Chain A
Amino acid sequence: MPANTPTVEQQFEDMPQQYESVHLGMWVFLSTEILFFGGFFVSYAIYRHFYGHDFIEGVKHTLILNGTINSVLLLTSGLTMALAVQAATENRTMVLVPLLLVTLLLGLGFLTCKSLEYREDIADKVVPGAMFDPSLPLHTQIFFWLYWGMTGLHTVHMIVGVGLLSVITAMAARGRFSAQYYTPLEMVGLYWAFVDIVWIFLYPLLYLIGRHS
């Protein structure tokens, strides 16, 4: 039996039911992920409500060039990932590995850009604590606690995503996916898109809103 022939596991009636169940499970997982980040988002809303001025000072001190480059990198990686899944559904397996490699490189580009940004942030003394830049308003530390927390948690997700992408790329290179079976690829695609969506909100909250007020 070829490696990419799908089999129905014993707990399922047929392939459509198995396929639907996998999707359902993945979306339930992504719902818990929304709440994983939810605590940070609600904290951001509450503290911005109280310390709007100090938050605006914070926004003015994040590195918008790195943030914008990373937004473009992630949105583009979302495209190449979606194209990879689409290629699998159409059995165009030749383009699969190149598309996944581009996605992986864009993800690594994001992480590189973020590391350079973190290095500059540390030099700029925007890490909350004893070393925090004394010229900034006191509660700007809360903004930067959120900055490090939210981007840090997102970065952890990116590292996990890059790991998953590496596995999926290796599987694709071994010819494990075809129009008959590409579920793992599609699930990693959903995870990658979710991480993309988190950044879609982090970018305006941490880099944009109030920047020129």
Chain B
Amino acid sequence: MKIAPKYQFIAIWLALVALLFVMFGLSHSNWGATGTAIILVLAFVQMVLVMSIFMRLRRSTKVIRLVACVGFVWLLILFVLAFSDYLTRQWH
């Protein structure tokens, strides 16, 4: 059975709001670094849902999907090069 896109969008929105409240709940727990990691993973899941469904990447061509991911590759390079100093320097 094929679900009409508008119902799919509403289902995704429900998932996004549910994830939001899970994140909110986790921030009020005492899980420390694990809680932080889970919250950030859930934010990442929210982003993937928005990009693939609301921004229609799932229905886009491979070229568009590739370009959509390239921005994150540059961001990753920015992080890796910045932290290549901070995580390796002798501090004392």
Contact = CB atoms under 8 A, between A and B. Distances in A.
A53 B45 CA distance: 27
Interface stretch (A3-11, A116-124, A131-139, A190-198): A190-198
Interface residues of B, number: 46
Contact of B17 (A75, A190, A203): A75
A72 B20 contact: yes
Interface centre among A39, A200, A210 (most CB of B within 10 A): A200
Contacts, number: 125
Contact of A193 (B10, B36, B54, B86): B54
* Majority secondary structure, B binding face: helix
A159 interface: no
Interface of A: 20, 23-24, 27-28, 30-35, 38-39, 41-42, 45-46, 49, 64, 68, 71-72, 75-76, 78-79, 81-83, 85-87, 189-190, 193-194, 196-197, 200-201, 203-204, 207-213
Interface of B: 5-6, 9-10, 12-13, 16-17, 20, 23-24, 26-30, 32, 35-36, 39-40, 43, 46-47, 50-51, 53-56, 60-61, 63-64, 67-68, 70-72, 74-75, 78-79, 82-83, 86
